């Protein structure tokens, strides 16, 4: 989070789920962490507006998911 706080020149999104270093990737289909990571790539690489809703807005789609904390800069 120190790195996140220092970023001031590009948009940034930090999402945390208190499940440990391995996240939820070892669970079937990677569960929530895989959903969030996939949505990020779909938004950033494909311009997918549905995926963008996971990160844009107040609250963002990720922030509405149970257990997640979110901080963002430069993202509407």
Q: Please tell me what DSSP assigns to residue 65.
A: S
Give the pLDDT band of residue 27 (cuts 50, 70, 90): confident
DSSP string spanning 10-47? Answer: S-EEEEEESS-TTTTTTSGGGHHHHHHHHHHHHHHHH-
Q: Is the pLDDT of residue 32 over 90?
A: yes
For the residues 4-16, what does the mean pLDDT come to? 96
Give the pLDDT band of residue 33 (cuts 50, 70, 90): very high
Q: Is the pLDDT of residue 29 over 90?
A: no
Give the pLDDT band of residue 45 (cuts 50, 70, 90): very high
Quick check: pTM over 0.75?
yes
Each domain of the chain, given as residue ranges in start order, spans 2-73
For residue 22, cis peptide bond before it (omega within 30 degrees of 0):
no
């Amino acid at each position: 989070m120190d790195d996140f706080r220092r970023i001031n020149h590009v948009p940034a999104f930090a999402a945390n789920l208190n499940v440990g270093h391995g996240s939820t990737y070892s669970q079937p289909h990677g569960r929530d962490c895989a959903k969030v990571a996939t949505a990020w790539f779909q938004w950033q690489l494909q311009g997918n507006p549905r995926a963008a809703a996971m990160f844009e807005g107040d609250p963002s789609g990720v922030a509405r998911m149970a257990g997640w904390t979110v901080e963002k800069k430069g993202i509407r």
